[in-house]
Amino acid sequence: MINYSKWKEKRINVTKLRLDNKNPRFSHIQREVTQNDLINEMIMNYKIYDLASSIAEDGFFPDKNLICIFEANNYVVVEGNRRLAAIKALLTPEIVEGKYCKRFKKLNSIIEASYILNIEIIIAPSRESANPIIFKEHTDRTSMPWSRIMQAEFYKTQLDEVSLDELASKYNKTKSEIISFLKLTNMYEIACNLEYSNGKYQESILDKQGFNASVLERIYDSQVMKDSLKFDFDSYGNIRGVTKKEDFKKAYTKVIEDILDGNINTRKLNKKEDFEKYKEELIDYLPTSSGRFTQKDLLKGTPIPENILKTEKSKVKKTFQQSSGIIPRGIPFALEGATNLKYFYSELKKMPVKSYPNSVAAALRAFLEKTVRMFLKKKKIKTLSINVNGVIEKKKLEDLSLGDIMVCITKQEETILEDDNIKKILRQFKSSSDKVSLNALNSIMHNEEYSLEEEEVRKIWDKLEGVFREILMEPK
């Protein structure tokens, strides 16, 4: 459990606060934007004027402190972007574009600026640590919650850092619930990159608050429609097809346009016969060719939003074409002057896990220890403090086992690893006694009766992938 009481509070001038351009509400924006652009985006789509009117009349309630992180030398608001946009527009109505400018100027004339110019903020130690609060606020309590598409994007953007199982556990969801969100964001991303017959469709599809996601979900959950469009999902919710991608895009474009036009809705699509009837309406658009495509293929050569590029990395590559080796493509090795370690890295990428699961597990155990020790060497750490029979002693790294090192570097107060989630993963990996643990890797090395299957070895990698992403980078 996170101890929120340790988060710092600070009184700050609102001019020093920045809206979060990584907020799911902005993920459709494909160009370079200013803070004023983001404010106007909020005003046009998220009822900022109503909120500003409330603040002008009743003041800024102290129980609604903004939650910020310090990122790139700026205080970035990760929770409270609507409130920040309202305050900034109240204080400087000249930045507001279009019809709302006069309205904000009128509000500006009645407010006492000094009451909202300096406000209290709460500083979270990291974006990741703030995510549970953001999730709760925008799915359970807020007066204007995130749409289902925004919630789906919120989950997907975290998969570079945590596994699917960890994500489900973190937000008290089942794995199947998380996968259903991933299916939605994947299908929506494809829809955003289609070429439509009319510009109004392109504008409408980007309205994540207004787009009827429930109809889209009903479409791709129907076996009739999946068979007709010749696609399905893998175990991570990624799209894969058995026709030419151009033919799929043609049919899928028609489906999205029908959703946007209101030609299909949840009332019209309930029973299997409803989908059979809709299939007949699509007959001139449905693919007839044989072929193969993945989600990655559908996004090639199109102006994909930055957030999509970010979240498409390792999971898609690993899922569509699973690497024969334990280290999938997309895992960088950025440690300088570590030639021998790079040999291990290269061999683990090539050695087929299916054929040699136990040999791979043994090599992975060696690679883990060598990488951890190299990471500490890069940090210029030669000793660690460890509890020996109730007495804290400093020990040289060469005198400590990998397990001892893990205990030392994952302590709550230790700052060698900056990411608390990485610490948590390593603590669980060290303390667990199942087949996805340090104990399993040690048993491979020392217990002649012990063995692992391919799936078990891959699960160990899945558990540690986020850790390796951290320790294979050159430390700052």
Of 299, 314, 343, which marks where a domain is finished?
299
The whole-model pTM stands at 0.42
Q: Is residue 361 part of a domain?
A: yes
Q: Which residues constitute the domain of residue 221?
A: 175-299
124 and 203 share one domain: no
127 and 90 share one domain: yes
> What's the domain count of the chain?
3
**pLDDT, position 388:** 83
Of 264, 299, 334, which marks where a domain is finished?
299
Q: Is residue 310 part of a domain?
A: no
109 and 13 share one domain: yes
- The rounded radius of gyration (Å) of the Cα atoms in the chain is 26
Handedness of CA 264, 265, 268, 272 (dihedral sign): positive
224 and 329 share one domain: no
132 and 188 share one domain: no
| Amino acid occupying residue 198 | N
Q: Is residue 164 part of a domain?
A: no
**pLDDT, position 233:** 92
| Tens-level pLDDT at each residue, the chain (476 residues) | 566 667 888 888 988 999 988 887 776 665 667 898 899 988 988 889 988 888 887 666 555 678 999 988 889 999 889 999 999 999 999 999 888 899 999 999 888 787 788 888 999 988 888 887 776 666 554 445 678 888 888 888 888 778 888 888 777 778 888 898 999 999 999 998 899 988 788 878 888 878 889 899 999 999 999 999 999 998 888 899 999 999 999 999 999 999 999 999 888 998 889 999 999 999 999 999 999 999 888 885 443 333 333 333 333 333 334 578 998 766 778 888 888 898 889 899 889 999 999 999 999 999 999 999 999 999 999 999 988 888 888 999 999 999 999 999 988 788 888 777 788 889 999 998 889 999 999 999 999 989 999 989 999 998 898 888 888 888 76
Q: Is residue 158 part of a domain?
A: no
Q: Is residue 183 part of a domain?
A: yes
User: How far is Cα 330 from Cα 163, in angstroms, rounded to an integer?
Assistant: 15
Q: Is residue 167 part of a domain?
A: no
Q: Is residue 316 part of a domain?
A: no
Q: Which of 200, 208, 235, 63 is nearest to 147 (CA)?
A: 208
Backbone angles phi and psi of 348, in degrees to 5 = -70, -25
465 and 327 share one domain: yes
Q: Is 59 left (phi over 0), alpha (psi -120 to 50) or beta?
A: left
Angle at 194 between CA 188 and CA 197, to 5 degrees: 125
**pLDDT, position 170:** 73
User: Where do the H-state alpha helices sit in 24-126?
Assistant: 35-45, 48-58, 81-91, 100-108, 113-117
445 and 327 share one domain: yes
220 and 344 share one domain: no
Q: Is residue 307 part of a domain?
A: no
10 and 139 share one domain: yes
* Chain centre to alpha carbon of residue 158: 2
121 and 56 share one domain: yes
197 and 291 share one domain: yes
End-to-end CA distance of the chain: 28
282 and 179 share one domain: yes
Q: Which of 434, 375, 421, 422 is nearest to 402 (CA)?
A: 375
